[in-house]
A and B are shown apart, each in its own frame.
Chain A
Amino acid sequence: MTQPLDIHAVSAHYGTTKVLEDLSLSVQAGELVSLLGASGCGKTTTLRLIAGFLSPTSGSIKLGGRDLTRLPTHKRDIGLVFQNYALFPHLSVLDNVAFGLKQRGLGASDRRKSALAMLERVGLAPLAERTPGALSGGQKQRVALARALVIEPPLLMFDEPLSNLDAKLRVEMRVEIRQLQRANGTTSVYVTHDQEEAFSISDRVAIMNAGRLMQFDRPEVLYRQPANTFVASFVGFENIIPFTVVGREGETVTAETAGMRLRLSQNAFGAIPDTFLLATRADGLMVSTDPAAEGIPAQLGLRTYLGRAYQYQCETAAGHLVANGSLTAPLDPGTGVKLVPVPEQCSILMPDEAR
C-alpha cells in the first residue's frame, strides 16, 4: 500500500506565466514530506499537479509503478485534505466519509462499517449523522481527514490543512495527523507556510521559492546547514556576511570583508571556496571582549535578554549583525568587542550568482 512518489523535472504554467520550473522531488514510500515556502511560491500548484487538476507542460509524475502524468484525477487514487475542508454540505458526516468508498463500488453496509470505524479513529463516531454545517472547524478537519484516509490511498496530500484553526488546536491536530499517517504508513505530501509545523511533522522538508526547489532535506539539516542564502534567511540566519579569500596557509584561510580580515580554519569550517558567505544565527557569533580574539570588530548596540543568553545588536564594518554574549557578563551599549564565529553554528555558502 505504501508507494514512493517521483516527480521528475516538472514545469507548470498558468497561461503564459511560468509558476513551476524544472521541479524534481522524490518522496519515499511511507514518508511525510512538507512543501514549505512563502505565499505564491507554487506549493498549491505542485499539489494540484500531483492531484491532476493541472497538467505539467513538461516532466513526469509517478506513484509506485504508475505513471500519473496523463491520468485524470478521479483515477489517480489520491487522498486530499483541503485548507477549507471542502466537505459535502448536503451529506451527513457518515456519507461524507463513505463517499470515496461508494465510488469504489462498496456495498452500503460495508461502506457504513468502514466509514464508522474511520470516524471512530478520529473520535467523531457520535457525530456521524450530523451535517458538516453543524461541526466546529477542528471537527470538520477531522472529517476531511477521515474521508481521505478511509479510501486507503497510496498517497495522501494536505494543503495547509490547519491554517483555519486556532493555534492550540493546530498543534494538537498536527500531532494527530502525524500519528494517523505513521500508523497507516501512507506516503504523504504536506503543504504549509508555517516553518515550525513543517519541521515538526515531516521526515523531510522541501523549501521552495518562486517555483523552484531551494533545498530538500531533513529538518535537522535544513535548520543547521542551509545550502544557500535563501534557505539560510528562511530558517532564521540573521547574519550573512560576504567574504573573499586573500590567503591560504595549509588549512588556515585568511578571508576579507569590508576591509577587515579574519582567519578561519578549514578543519573547523569545512572547505572554504575563494568567495563565500558566512551565514549564522545570533548564537553563531560569540561576543568576546578579548582584543586578541579572532573575530569581527564590532560596536555593541541594544542588548536584549533571551533567557539562555544576552543578544546584542552590533554595528560592524560589514554592516549590522546580531550576536549572543554570555549571561555572566552583560555588556553596555557602545562597548568595542570582537564577534567570534562558532564553527558548529556557521554555514559556509557559495554566493548565489556563482551557483
Chain B
Amino acid sequence: MSDRPHPFLIAVAALVYFFLMVPLVIVVGAALSDTTYLTFPPQGLSLRWFENIFEISAFRRTIVTSLQIAFLGTLIALIIGIPAAYALNRFRVELPKWLGTLFVLPILVPEIVFGFALLKSLTVGAGVPIFAALLIGHTLLVLPYVVRVISASLASFDFSIEEAAISLGSAPLKTFFTIVMPNVRAGVIAAFILAFITSLNDVSVSLFLTGPGISTLPIQILAHVEQFFDPTVASVSVLLMFLTVAVMAVVERTLGLTFLAK
C-alpha cells in the first residue's frame, strides 16, 4: 500500500468540493454584480447591494434579532445542555435509557411540526411575547445538538479522573469546573458553533414564531425575495456566511483562551 490516496478517491473528493463550492461562488458573484437583478457571472463589480442591506431597516433589525436569539438561545441551551449531558454520561448505568432519548427526540420531529407545535402552545396558548417565544423555540431547537455533541465528548472522558480529583480534596462542583470542563472544552466549542449556526440559519421554527415587528434574518430574506429580485438577497446571504465564519473564529479564540488560562 502506498501513502498516496487512490486517484479515484481524489476525483470524488474534488467533485464533492466542487459541488459544495459552486453555489457559494455563484452567490458571492451575484452579490457583487452591479445590475439591479440577480445574475451570474456578475456584470460590473459593486458593493452597493451590501450597502443596500443596511439601508433597509427590516434587514438591520432582523440581523440584530437573529444574533441576539442565536447567542442567547445557544447560551441557555449550553447552560441546560452541559449539566444534562454530564448527568446522562456520569450516571449512564443508574439513569433509565429513555432519558437520553428524550433529549434527542426534537431532532426526529419535522421542524415544521415542531414550529407549529410551539406556535400553538407558546404564542397562542400561553400568550408568550414574540421575542421570548422565538428564544424558547430556538433554545429547544438547538438543545439536542448541544446535548449530543457534549455527550460525545464526555463519552470518552474517564470519570475516574473526576473521582481522583474529589479524593484529593476538591469539592464536586469545583471539580466539575476545574477538571471535567477543561477536558470537554472541544465539545463545548463545537456545540456552541453548531448551535449558533443552526439557530442563525433556522427558517422552519422561526417561520411560525416571528410576528409583527419581530423577525429573524432568514425570514426577512424570504419576505424580501417575494417582492424584489435585486442582488440584495445574494449580498445578505454572503453576509450571513461571513457572520457564521466570524462566530466560529471568535468562539474558537475566546473559549479556547479562557479555558487554557485555567
Chain A residues engaging chain B, CB cutoff 8 angstroms: 15, 51, 53, 72-80, 82, 84, 86-90, 99-100, 103-104, 144, 147-148, 151
B35 CB–A CB distance under 8 Å: no
Chain A residues near B175 (CB, 8 Å)?
74
Q: Report B261 CB to chain A, min CB distance, Å.
A: 12
Question: Is the C-beta of B42 less than 8 angstroms from some C-beta in chain A?
Answer: no
Please tell me if the beta carbons of B160 and A82 are within 8 angstroms of each other in the complex: yes
In angstroms, Cα B169 to Cα A151, docked, is 10
Chain B interface (Cβ < 8 Å from any Cβ of A)? 94, 158, 160-161, 163-172, 175, 179, 182-183, 262
8 pairs of A and B residues whose beta carbons are closest in the complex = A103-B169, A100-B168, A86-B164, A86-B160, A80-B167, A90-B182, A86-B161, A73-B166
| Cross-interface CB contact of A79 among B161, B163, B166, B167, cutoff 8 Å | B167
Contact A74 B171 (CB under 8 A): yes
Beyond A84-B160, A87-B161, A90-B182, whether A99 also contacts B170 by CB under 8 A is: yes
Give bound CA distance, A100 to B170, whole Å.
8
A-B contact list, 11 entries, CB within 8 Å = A79-B167, A80-B167, A82-B160, A82-B163, A86-B164, A87-B161, A88-B164, A89-B161, A90-B262, A144-B164, A151-B169
Please give, as numbers and ranges, the residues of chain A lying within 8 Å of B163 by CB-CB distance. 51, 53, 73, 80, 82, 86
B168 and chain A: residue at smallest CB distance: A100
Q: Which of B161, B170, B182, B183 contacts A74 (CB 8 A)?
A: B170
A84-B158, A86-B160 given. 20 additional CB < 8 A pairs? Answer: A73-B166, A74-B168, A74-B169, A74-B170, A74-B171, A74-B175, A78-B167, A80-B164, A82-B160, A82-B163, A84-B160, A88-B161, A88-B164, A88-B179, A89-B161, A89-B183, A99-B168, A99-B170, A103-B169, A147-B164
The residue in chain A whose Cβ has the minimal distance to the Cβ of B93 is A14
- Whole-angstrom CA separation of A15 from B94 in the bound complex: 8
Q: Which residues of B contact A99 (CB under 8 A)?
A: 165, 168, 170
**Are B167 and A73 in contact (CB-based, < 8 A)?**
yes
Query: Hey, which chain B residues are within 8 Å of A151, CB to CB?
Result: 168-169
Complex contacts, A100 vs chain B, CB 8 Å = 168-169
What's the minimum C-beta distance from B207 to chain A, rounded to whole angstroms? 43
Q: Are B158 and A86 in contact (CB under 8 A)?
A: yes
CB distance from B46 to the nearest CB of A (A): 50
CB–CB B161/A104 < 8 A: no
Partner pick for A147 among B166, B168, B182, CB 8 A cutoff: B168
**How distant is the Cα of A74 from the Cα of B175 in the complex, in angstroms?**
10
Closest residue of chain A to B159, judged by CB?
A: A86
With most chain A CB atoms within 10 A of its CB, the pick from B168, B172, B182 is: B168
